[in-house]
Structure 1
């Protein structure tokens, strides 16, 4: 059974769409019931993917005219489960089912300093925050990291708008973000305990920042994040879920999530965020053949290494390095609550 904190749905018409960067599409939606979207909000869309209704979440990059125009930025994921492919296929005049703005990543007020860290398409969650801080006259730094400039959405706009407050790190230019140095700068500043960091991007990047933040004993509430739960230690592959209490096994394809596959098979499961943040879909692991690729930001590193539980919405099983020579798919045995 789903537990959903956003209960009302509406229609949204596509007013504009174009390319922001290589593989990134700008989509402007005009909702039937407009509500202004504050910085850090997202909208949920209900998409028909291969005959199944799927919920996907996208950050609101810009809210205009009291929420009558909401801009999204959608990256075409190489391992897309269908959502980004569907979004990249939208044209002006198309209609989608959508919620109003959902706030799960609010920008605070009153910090001495703000550091915004975006990895790749994670910038879509931070554009409005940076603009708000600029208008406030706040002390802030915007850190942008990506594989290549050609795939970094809003890069030129942000540099033009925020000037020397922007720090750019590009892998293919051999200028990579050093997480330890970044967090060390915060820890060594006079305003260390009054600095808030907001981050959005790949799980590995955010895990690294969280570890460095904890190692420097910085205040935990001052580190805030948004995630899309789409990146992991290994490429997505087919695997099997065994459910002994139901005497069933369910196949999970590489372009589906464990949660989606279980729901398609008629298995009732609890969920809310579907992004690996809330932990509502956490279940007990009984056995693993291969490795668990957790991909969430809810479980601690110690919990992940114990292989005792996982979050159904983003976790996967993978053969990984230990099973790379096996012809059998990875498998995980679970106990559902």
Structure 2
């Protein structure tokens, strides 16, 4: 569930678009970094109370470095501000992962849709799809051409398979014209784009969210039996399983606390979770064998968790 944890060196920090920097991370002693596949992300522990998730956008075959691209969001919670204004080349940062809840499935045809910084997990997917000999197209939207990271180099690499659509030049993306056929659909970007793709796609799309789905806080309490700890705890209305477990002194690795990163994924031994995360797909949720305890609750009066 959680990958290795190690300290890495910020070997390079470079501007790749308006408001976007790319970090190249290397092992301090030159050792190989963890293996990963397209769609994976890592946690960067920027400060003791500042942990953020970033999609990997480099080359999975290059074990000497990991790359992430970070959009500066002035109205955000401080992670991007820290990366842009505080984190410098030569600094050491704690890394957790990689983890992958957005894997590229094998297919003959793909349609990729990216919005803004949502291009980051898509970049290695394009290379992987090309290496497999698959047919694919990318529809890439952003506010302005200068704000769209990797747009120029993707066009240079892949030609007219990449359709770059800055909103100030071409308006909103024409999803109905793009999302046709039975290709596997992958989408990453802001929530309105994801919702539109989910509504318009003729097949169930693969999506990755940077922000949580809107859900209510839960109005019913329930019990959780912790199989390994031998304890039974009550989760009140309006509190999360994670909050209750941590208050009981049981250590659980967590990060986003909003159901988007997958760090707190926990095994479910009995009961039916009320899934409220933005990580598991419909099939994974239906299996009812894991849940994200930072947001998900219970459909019944009791859950048995592997904690």
**190, 195, 207: which one aligns with 1:225:** 207
- Inter-partner Cα distance in structure 2 for 1:13 and 1:129: 25
- Inter-partner Cα distance in structure 2 for 1:124 and 1:114: 17
Answer yes or no: is 1:86 the counterpart of 2:82: yes
Q: 1:153 to 1:299 in 2, by over 3 A?
A: same
- Inter-partner Cα distance in structure 1 for 2:218 and 2:198: 30
The alignment's TM-score, normalised by the length of structure 1, stands at 0.64
- Inter-partner Cα distance in structure 1 for 2:7 and 2:253: 23
- Inter-partner Cα distance in structure 1 for 2:129 and 2:236: 54
Answer yes or no: is 1:97 the counterpart of 2:91: no
The CA deviation string for residues 154-187 of structure 1, in whole angstroms up to 9 with x for no partner, is 010011111010112221113321223322x23x
The CA deviation string for residues 168-212 of structure 1, in whole angstroms up to 9 with x for no partner, is 2221113321223322x23xxxxx2xx111111112211111122
**Any conservation in 2 of the 1:276–1:298 contact (CA below 8 Å)?**
no
**Any conservation in 2 of the 1:229–1:295 contact (CA below 8 Å)?**
no
1:78 Cα deviation (Å)?
2.8
Secondary structure of the corresponding residue to residue 133 of structure 1? helix
Secondary structure of the corresponding residue to residue 106 of structure 1? coil
**136, 142, 152: which one aligns with 1:146:** 142
Secondary structure of the corresponding residue to residue 37 of structure 1? coil
Q: 1:112 to 1:29 in 2, by over 3 A?
A: same
**Any conservation in 2 of the 1:229–1:314 contact (CA below 8 Å)?**
no
- Inter-partner Cα distance in structure 2 for 1:106 and 1:170: 27
- Inter-partner Cα distance in structure 2 for 1:136 and 1:156: 23
- Inter-partner Cα distance in structure 2 for 1:44 and 1:164: 34
**68, 72, 78: which one aligns with 1:76:** 72
Answer yes or no: is 1:56 the counterpart of 2:38: no
Query: Which residues of structure 2 form unaligned runs of 5+?
Result: 222-233, 267-272, 283-291, 297-302
- Inter-partner Cα distance in structure 2 for 1:119 and 1:272: 27
**260, 273, 297: which one aligns with 1:276:** 260
Answer yes or no: is 1:6 the counterpart of 2:5: no
1:282-321 alignment, distance < 5 Å: 296=278
The CA deviation string for residues 259-300 of structure 1, in whole angstroms up to 9 with x for no partner, is 99x69x96989786734376969x98xxxxxxxxx9947699
1:24 Cα deviation (Å)?
0.3
1:134 Cα deviation (Å)?
2.2
Q: 1:14 to 1:69 in 2, by over 3 A?
A: same
1:250-265 alignment, distance < 5 Å: none
- Inter-partner Cα distance in structure 1 for 2:143 and 2:24: 26
1:312 Cα deviation (Å)?
8.7
- Inter-partner Cα distance in structure 1 for 2:241 and 2:142: 29
Secondary structure of the corresponding residue to residue 130 of structure 2? helix
Q: 1:158 to 1:241 in 2, by over 3 A?
A: same
**187, 191, 212: which one aligns with 1:203:** 191
Aligned length: 261
Q: 1:277 to 1:103 in 2, by over 3 A?
A: closer
Moved more, 157-166 or 170-179: 170-179
- Root-mean-square deviation (CA), in Å? 3.8
Residue aligning to 2:165: 169
- Inter-partner Cα distance in structure 2 for 1:107 and 1:13: 28
Secondary structure of the corresponding residue to residue 56 of structure 2? strand
- Inter-partner Cα distance in structure 2 for 1:127 and 1:21: 15
- Inter-partner Cα distance in structure 2 for 1:266 and 1:84: 29
Q: 1:44 to 1:246 in 2, by over 3 A?
A: closer
Q: 1:299 to 1:107 in 2, by over 3 A?
A: closer
The alignment's TM-score, normalised by the length of structure 2, stands at 0.70
**212, 221, 241: which one aligns with 2:200:** 212
1:42 Cα deviation (Å)?
1.4
1:63 Cα deviation (Å)?
3.0
